[in-house]
Structure 1
Amino acid sequence: MAAGLVISAPASGVGKTTLTLALARAWRNRGLNVQCFKSGPDYIDPAFHAAATGRASVNVDSWAMDGAAIMHLVSRGVDADVVLAEGSMGLFDGVAARGVSGTGATADIAQMLGWPVVLVIDPSGQAQTAAAIAAGLRDYRAGVRIAGVVLNRVASPRHEDLVRRALSDAGIAVFGALPRHAEISLPKRHLGLVQAEEQAEIGKLIDEAARFVAEHVDLDAVLRSAAGWSPQPAANGLNVAPPGQRIALARDAAFSFVYPHMLEAWRAAGAEILPFSPLADEAPDASADVCWLPGGYPELHAGKIAAHARFRSGLRAFADTRPVHGECGGYMVLGAALTDADGVRHEMAGLLGLETSFAKRRMHLGYRLAELAAPMPGHRVGARLRGHEFHYSTILAQPDTPLAVVHDATGAVIAETGSRRGHATGTFFHLIAEDR
């Protein structure tokens, strides 16, 4: 029987990822089999989870996925000793309007699975108020149980004692307190964490985090607080069709944002994935019947992409006869041009008329529900696709026929409709699932 826990916090940036990685590696070092998940639409953290545990991690999302899909995904933890679900943002943070099975909040997953929550609390600039915050989270929603807290970035022994006393008076267990320790901070980028594969020292970083947390946190007490859990493999999986039988998938540092569950669903349906690297000036495999360009950081490599004639000409030749689809960064590369943060304009593939700029930064963030006005690879006209958009580019031109009518989580129509021209399609959102 697995032991299930959710790692959450009152807000973003408190230390959820670091604690999750440290606990996972520390327990793995003790010989336990650890499975991680990520609550919410984050495509970077699962790679860090895999580095810490040696097991693939996937996203679970209550706004975009129904209960059967979530249970199907978490059933991979049936053979684990410990299962950790890392939350996103604050414990109850989601969108205002309910989606398929919830608002996207971490609390939805905790309640659905019956797993208690370990809160990471950063008491910087406060003392007893940290206990008031923890107590408020404990009492906010029936069905969500707080197992206890781990204090992070504690300033001094006196500071720790004040916070511990207040939490004890509130009846909240403290599993440990971490003093400030900059060496285990993970580097940041404008879209969040730098990707795991970009860090040559990721193993050492996680090992150091595990050592540090094991020194300051009662690992046995945390493990005892977990809920016993025996998942039954769900019969119904994700409603995600592969875009083709043989899929040429752009995959390198510029094209790496793809949800792990998507690739698994494609393979489970019998599709073959053929990776290629635009940054190595590779073209999509000529034997593929569809090409998919995921998101990533094309703006950091725009000059190289523009200079790689073999990739661009090969992609254009592919699109003469077969579908090509781009998500977010991939969509930008399918466009006419991309202006980087320094204001330099780079020609892209030109399969679509889209022009974007990072010199004029504007954040686009949130869930998206798209009803297709035309087919895209793997999905018919009228399909309702759920996804998530997160980028800082500004649209300078989007002249092609819209691919879809796109709404945000409140139901408001947005301008990022995606585009279609010939065999090329693109969206700013990253696909998570299709409504059944």
Structure 2
Amino acid sequence: MTPRSASPAPGLLIGAPRSGSGKTTITLGLQRALVRRGLAVRGLKCGPDYIDPAFHAAATGKPSANLDSFAMPDLLLASLVDEASQGSDLILAEGSMGLFDGVRRPFHLERDAGGKPGATFPHPAPPGHTGASADIAAFCGWPVVLVIDVSGQAQSAAAVALGCRSFDPRIQIAGVILNKVASERHRRLVADGMAAIGLPVFGALPREASLILPERHLGLVQAGETADLHARLDALAQAIEASVDLDALVAAAASTRPASSSSTHHALPPPGQRIAIARDAAFSFVYAHVESGWAAQGATLSFFSPLADEPPPRDCDVCWLPGGYPELHAGKLAAAERFRAGIHSFAETRPVHGECGGYMVLGDALEDADGTAHRMLGLLPVTTSFAKRKLNLGYRVARLNADGILGPRRTVLIGHEFHYASTTSAAPSETQAFARNADAEGNDLGFSGHRAGHVSGTFFHAIARSL
């Protein structure tokens, strides 16, 4: 297989008719298998997922990033795709959920006489901006390879593939990879159906439980915590090599559509010149495009580990506590006295911001899944519980209530919320709240997050500023 030298790099999007079809494991196996053949492969992830890109980076040896047609303006999408294309032979992007699954988006929020968000006018999202993986395939000009879980069906799988091929005229379905094939006879029956509609079958993977990566409540166990990760990735690559026609798959890739732009667009301005970022098993959920954008704009990123009882570096001018899994380490965080003292000292004169898990740690207490309450930093008046679990999931359109490190008052941020924690303290008042939120359809969700002195926090992860 000869590496390609054309610029921009060609790409493919690995999609599926529904979640749970095996997109992630097959994408990782393809990425690793092609790297083993000598190609420079870049992974990208559609949608607001901060776990899968770390697996892409491990599989390819190159950084990955998210592409989100709902939350990101076209200029940012083009910048991220262009950056990934440079020096690469192939981009293998992974879809999210079902290929066409997206949201409705309001064009604007109605304002009342005092300038506060009031009623909304939800409208269908403009074409190409629904957050669906198909939007990204259309924007980039990438053909789609469908991963179809064929367990419990045979020729009927072709009807599903035919529907995907016909549903959206903007995109091209290049072919399919069959997953969870029970036998050679089963494979032949499914392949017969695909031949009848003229869709190539690039490969067929047998039902094999050992190829499944371990999961927990927010998705895959993080790449850095997955035991024998590189051995697992090599096993996935070997399964792909034995079952998929890699030459045919690479030949199906198409040149990436966005041309190199004269200027680079970043998601968020740096919150400071020197940013202290918590980074360990409890704090790891930061979008790669946010961190790389801060660095590209001249900020210095310094990492510290609360689980190792480290305080934020004293020479930084802002501290950022990302999301992650503090609920799994609440006892250790509660006992981290150097971390506690360092954050309190830092917050006396400089901004501290927490997202999701970081927000919970900035609060008064966190109740773990067993019902044990652990003292947290006590910098924000919020208590949270995992014993009283409640799924909170979806895009957030947030209008900042006051000037802060993420922008001046009334700045609009597009972000995403995904957690199971419930809040057991009182809801914030307007003067306490970090922002006022709406969902993806423009429905007013009220005030969210907290701010107190130099400290702020919120459950949503900021993806980009709204233009």
TM (normalized to structure 1)? Answer: 0.98
Instruction: Using the TM superposition, give the Cα deviation of residue 231 of structure 1 relative to its aligned residue in structure 2, in angstroms.
Output: 5.2
Deviates more, 1:267-276 or 1:235-244: 235-244
Is the Cα–Cα contact under 8 Å of residues 139 and 258 in structure 2 kept in the other structure? no
Instruction: Using the TM superposition, give the Cα deviation of residue 29 of structure 1 relative to its aligned residue in structure 2, in angstroms.
Output: 0.9
For 1:357, the equivalent position in structure 2 comes to 385
Instruction: Using the TM superposition, give the Cα deviation of residue 416 of structure 1 relative to its aligned residue in structure 2, in angstroms.
Output: 6.2
Give 5+ residue unaligned stretches, structure 1.
none
Structure 2: distance between partners of 1:257 and 1:99 = 29
Structure 2: distance between partners of 1:314 and 1:108 = 44
For 2:75, the equivalent position in structure 1 comes to 68
Amino acid in the other structure paired with 2:336: H
Instruction: Using the TM superposition, give the Cα deviation of residue 399 of structure 1 relative to its aligned residue in structure 2, in angstroms.
Output: 5.0
Counterpart check, 1:237 vs 2:244:
no
Is the Cα–Cα contact under 8 Å of residues 7 and 85 in structure 1 kept in the other structure? yes
Structure 2: distance between partners of 1:223 and 1:60 = 21
Cα distance change of structure 1 residues 405 and 99 upon mapping to structure 2, 3 Å threshold: farther
Alignment of 1:212-227 (within 5 A): 212-227=239-254
SS at match of 1:165: helix
Amino acid in the other structure paired with 1:28: V
Counterpart check, 1:334 vs 2:334:
no
Is the Cα–Cα contact under 8 Å of residues 353 and 399 in structure 1 kept in the other structure? no
Structure 1: distance between partners of 2:256 and 2:71 = 24
Amino acid in the other structure paired with 1:210: A
For 1:84, the equivalent position in structure 2 comes to 92
Deviations 1:61-101 (A, max 9, x none): 00011111111001121321111110000100111232795
SS at match of 1:47: helix
Is the Cα–Cα contact under 8 Å of residues 406 and 416 in structure 1 kept in the other structure? yes
1:188 to 200, 203, 215: 215
2:404 to 357, 376, 385: 376
Amino acid in the other structure paired with 1:302: A
Structure 1: distance between partners of 2:167 and 2:426 = 44
For 1:385, the equivalent position in structure 2 comes to 413
Deviates more, 1:259-268 or 1:77-86: 77-86
Q: Percent identity over the alignment?
A: 56
2:206 to 169, 179, 202: 179
Alignment of 1:219-368 (within 5 A): 219-229=246-256, 232-234=259-261, 235-368=263-396
Is the Cα–Cα contact under 8 Å of residues 9 and 91 in structure 1 kept in the other structure? yes
Is the Cα–Cα contact under 8 Å of residues 336 and 349 in structure 1 kept in the other structure? yes
Deviates more, 1:321-330 or 1:123-132: 123-132
Give 5+ residue unaligned stretches, structure 2.
1-5, 106-124
Instruction: Using the TM superposition, give the Cα deviation of residue 48 of structure 1 relative to its aligned residue in structure 2, in angstroms.
Output: 0.4
Structure 2: distance between partners of 1:433 and 1:282 = 29
Deviates more, 1:93-102 or 1:113-122: 93-102
Counterpart check, 1:413 vs 2:444:
yes
Amino acid in the other structure paired with 2:211: I
Give the CA RMSD over aligned residues: 1.3
Is the Cα–Cα contact under 8 Å of residues 64 and 99 in structure 1 kept in the other structure? no
Structure 2: distance between partners of 1:21 and 1:398 = 43
2:197 to 158, 170, 176: 170
Deviates more, 1:374-383 or 1:251-260: 374-383
For 2:120, the equivalent position in structure 1 comes to none
Structure 2: distance between partners of 1:81 and 1:94 = 30
For 2:119, the equivalent position in structure 1 comes to none
Deviations 1:289-309 (A, max 9, x none): 111000000000001101111
For 2:30, the equivalent position in structure 1 comes to 23
Structure 2: distance between partners of 1:324 and 1:101 = 36
Cα distance change of structure 1 residues 91 and 151 upon mapping to structure 2, 3 Å threshold: same
Instruction: Using the TM superposition, give the Cα deviation of residue 375 of structure 1 relative to its aligned residue in structure 2, in angstroms.
Output: 2.2
Amino acid in the other structure paired with 2:442: G
Deviations 1:216-252 (A, max 9, x none): 1111111111113375333231241001011111110
Cα distance change of structure 1 residues 258 and 382 upon mapping to structure 2, 3 Å threshold: same
Deviations 1:93-137 (A, max 9, x none): 111232795110000000011110000000111112211111000
Counterpart check, 1:146 vs 2:154:
no
Structure 2: distance between partners of 1:178 and 1:133 = 18
Counterpart check, 1:428 vs 2:455:
no
For 2:59, the equivalent position in structure 1 comes to 52
